[in-house]
Chain A
Amino acid sequence: MFIIKYRKIFLAISGILMVASLGAVMYFGLNLGIEFTGGSFSQVSYEEGNIPTFSQIEESLNNFDTERGFVIQEVGEGGYIIRTTHLNEEEREGMIGALSFGDFEVTEERFSSIGPSIGNELRDKSLIALILSSIVIVLFITYVFRRVSKPVSSWKYGATAVLALIHDILIPVGVFAVLGYFLGAEIDVLFVTALLAVIGFSVNDTIVIFDRIRENLSLNEEYNIKKSFADTVGESLRQSYARSINTSLTTLLVLGALYFLGGAVTQFFALVLMIGVVAGTYSSLFMASPILVFLAGKKGEK
């Protein structure tokens, strides 16, 4: 199987992508949404034909509150998104009042405001959920593959799956560091949810391939076939890649529908998932299995 033959190249590609993602995160930083930092988000709209300009809004808001900074963004026809620090009820009403200046009638479409303490808590919870998921996955895979011990012991399957996971998470995070910098894409609770769904998808994919390796190993034993571990893994990959790619394709198809038709709320969510699904499929096929062969070391070559 060419994947095993050229495993060093494929592993190198994964490595480069991971380093690049990490670099992007460090260079651009993460654009954390208000759910993690605290702050407020208002989406307002004006009636057609009576829409104030960007600078008129900016001026009115800055007159309303000189201390607080407002980030204003135009969305669609007559729509604006305004981000600022946490607003209490009084301040919110004040801001809406400031947006209804002159003859302009404003309609509040959506408003969220989150205090900083809740933000910190959500951030902790998200991190714990990500870490806990990884730990549980190692344990689960170690348990499922407990009967497999030669030539790679079962916990190594788990550890490999987690390496693949880190790969699958790091890449969407890296992409979003870049998107956050250039397009203002935010890391919010929905983003973390998408990452966890990516974990679910990727582990699913990896387990199916590992399962095939397990089956082939036991077949080798049963029929006393002398085959190197590397060849067995290669054979398993050859048997599984059609399924892996087809499943990714169907998932990507629905995610594409969600991205293009599902509306703005879940658009970035769909994007994270698409990146994650591609990364997850790549890592199951081109990363996890080669790592197993690598871990088997010399034993694997025989």
Chain B
Amino acid sequence: MRLISLGILIIGALLGSFVYFSEVKEEGWMSNFPFRFGLDLRGGAHLVYTADVSGIKDERERSERMDSLRRLIEDRVDDLGVAEPLVQVERGGVLGEGDYRLIVELPGVTDVDEAIRAIGETPVLEFMLVKEGENVFDPNVGDIDFDLDGETEESFEVSVEEDEILDDVMEEEVENVEEEENETESPFIYTGLDGSMLNSARFERNQRTGEPLVAVKFNREGRDLFAEITRENVGRQLAILLDGESISSPVIREQIFGGEAVISGGFSLEEARNLARRLQAGALPVPIELVLTETVGPTLGQEVLDAGVRAALIGWAIVGVFMLLWYKFPGLIAIFSLLVYVVIMLSVFKLMFVTLTAAGLAGFILSIGMAVDANILIFERIKEELRSGKKIRDAVKEGFSRAWLSIRDANISTMIIAVILYYFGTPLVQGFAIVFFIGVLASMLTAISITRTFLIAIGDPKVGGLMEKLFYPASDMFRKKEVTENN
């Protein structure tokens, strides 16, 4: 027993130093286990979007689209430079049969407005003719050309009839707007062709030169309009504008039927990739709507955290004083048991990457109060056994085995509640449920292992004598016993 209690002391000390050093040290394996705080404690934004999938009938395609939406938003969020962002897709409804949702968590984000804009952003891509006489030439953009890739050749075989039907409509549109635009100073002529008519945008490389390119593919409407524009304006410059800025203005060399074009010229690898991504993103795979916003400023989060830690420490101290006053010496063991409990909990938070929220912290504080329960059960039971005239060692053993059934049944029921809470809870509540569950489990384990081991070790005649003398004045619970034992 002495060996076991020594072992527990060592394990407790090791866990304690782990918790301490993993917080203090900046490097090494231990620094990989920091406390993880929820958005409500460190500040940040929690956003929930609902996705409108009503246009997609097939269930599988829905989840595929949601998946590409998630990846896309992940990219956008990454660009914000937020540490450890979280983007996930979830089904709403009580049993997960409801609408599709996209959940975005941005810890520590300072400019929420910008973040929300970046996530929902639709880059405006426009194709405009450059007015005759104007020479729009972006020095950043080198030799620019619409370039048809080899693989796009089949697209030339577009039925011409279709084009003609649409031509009239398009022509009118183009002309109408042309007049309007002429009145302004802009060097561009509106064509009506824009990013909403894109089917896809891909990053590619020129097969001969290896130059980074962005290949765009128009939808039917865009393809027809594009063919129309290129037919009418051979020899003129067609500017490609992104959010109102010209990114390239290639010269139209011939009519292009296929609905595919390559934007080339002077892009770095990264630029071409980003542009392709942004264009692709312009049309989100699924339209989304922001339905839940929660933002917490970093100062407020820190205040909540500080207050929670203070409450936990003081709560722990008060419980300790109470146990000491009420149970005297065994109370001291309970305090130690509780200390090990706290150390175990903190280690579990770190090792299992539990995210602590304000509710979780409250759950932890609550669990400190409840954790002594097992100790109280055991002590009360031992008292009873002692009163019935048993020797101290037997009383401890008997008390434990009798109290165990109650502890087990009572704690299992509490853990069941925690599981239900987790299943139905919001992230905030789940933080509480996890802490509550682990807390009940850990308190049960510390009580039956640590408290038990120490009580028995101290009850051991070999050490017991010394220990009892040491704590004699405080241990009125054992005093009566010692008297009878000495007899």
Contact = CB atoms under 8 A, between A and B. Distances in A.
B303 interface: yes
Interface string A172-194: 00000000000000000110110
A263 B40 CA distance: 13
A222 B252 CA distance: 102
A260 B312 CA distance: 11
Contacts of A243: 373, 376-377, 380
B7 interface: no
Contacts of A192: 429
Given A258-B311, A261-B311, A115 B291 contact: yes
A269 B362 contact: yes
A207 interface: yes
B406 A211 contact: yes
Nearest to A273: B366
A246 interface: yes
A35 to B, nearest CB: 8
A126 interface: yes
B92 A257 contact: no
Nearest to B433: A193
Contacts of B319: 250, 253-254
B300 A43 contact: yes
Contacts of A249: 322
A129 B420 contact: yes
A132 B384 CA distance: 37
Interface stretch (A53-61, A196-204, A285-293): A196-204
Given A107-B297, A208-B410, A254 B417 contact: no
A301 interface: no
Contacts, number: 230
A265 interface: yes
Contacts of A265: 40, 304, 358
B426 A207 contact: no
A113 B376 CA distance: 44
A280 B165 CA distance: 78
A201 to B, nearest CB: 7
Contacts of A88: 290
Contact of B402 (A129, A215, A246): A215
Contacts of B418: 200
Contacts of A250: 319, 322-323, 369-370, 372-373, 376
Interface centre among A190, A250, A257 (most CB of B within 10 A): A250
A32 interface: no
Contacts of B406: 207-208, 211-212
Nearest to A135: B420
Contacts of B50: 115, 117
B258 interface: no
Contacts of B373: 204, 243, 247, 250-251
A203 to B, nearest CB: 5
Contacts of A200: 413-414, 417-418, 436, 440
Given A247-B376, A255-B366, A125 B424 contact: yes
A111 B304 contact: no
A266 B405 CA distance: 33
Interface in A66-92: 86-89, 92
A47 interface: no
A137 B433 CA distance: 17
A201 B370 contact: yes
Nearest to B414: A200
Q: What size tier do the contact residues of chain A reach?
A: 35 or more
Nearest to B305: A263
B92 A111 contact: no
A121 B414 contact: no
A95 interface: no
Contacts of A273: 366
A117 B410 contact: no
Contact of B361 (A189, A255, A266): A266
A149 interface: no
Contacts of B265: none
Contacts of A141: 413
Given A108-B295, A118-B92, A247 B304 contact: no
B81 interface: no
Contacts of B361: 262, 266
A112 B414 contact: no
B113 interface: yes
A203 B94 contact: no
Contacts of A87: 293
A273 B369 CA distance: 12
A258 B362 contact: yes
Contacts of B384: 239
A203 B413 contact: yes
A199 B412 CA distance: 13
A252 interface: yes
A251 B308 CA distance: 16
B269 interface: no
B120 interface: yes
B365 interface: yes
A137 B295 CA distance: 37
Interface in B84-142: 92-94, 98-99, 112-113, 116-117, 120
Contacts of A40: 293
Contact of B409 (A121, A128, A144, A251): A144
Interface in B348-402: 358-359, 361-363, 365-366, 368-370, 372-373, 376-377, 380, 384, 402
B310 to A, nearest CB: 5
Contacts of A257: 311-312, 314-315, 318, 365
A3 interface: no
B113 A93 contact: yes
Interface centre among A88, A192, A257 (most CB of B within 10 A): A257
B421 A196 contact: yes
A129 B421 CA distance: 7
Nearest to A263: B307
A170 to B, nearest CB: 17
A112 B406 CA distance: 43
Nearest to B296: A110
B260 to A, nearest CB: 35
A225 interface: no
A35 B316 CA distance: 32
Interface centre among B116, B304, B319, B369 (most CB of A within 10 A): B369
B146 interface: no
Contacts of A113: 292-294
Contacts of B117: 89
Sorted from nearest, which 3 A-B pairs have the closest CB atoms? A263-B307, A254-B315, A115-B291
Given A125-B424, A254-B318, A266-B359, 12 more contacts: A110-B294, A110-B300, A114-B291, A121-B94, A133-B420, A140-B412, A203-B410, A211-B406, A247-B373, A250-B323, A253-B318, A258-B308
15 contacts: A35-B426, A87-B293, A108-B295, A111-B294, A113-B292, A113-B293, A190-B429, A193-B433, A197-B417, A200-B414, A207-B410, A246-B380, A250-B319, A254-B318, A263-B311
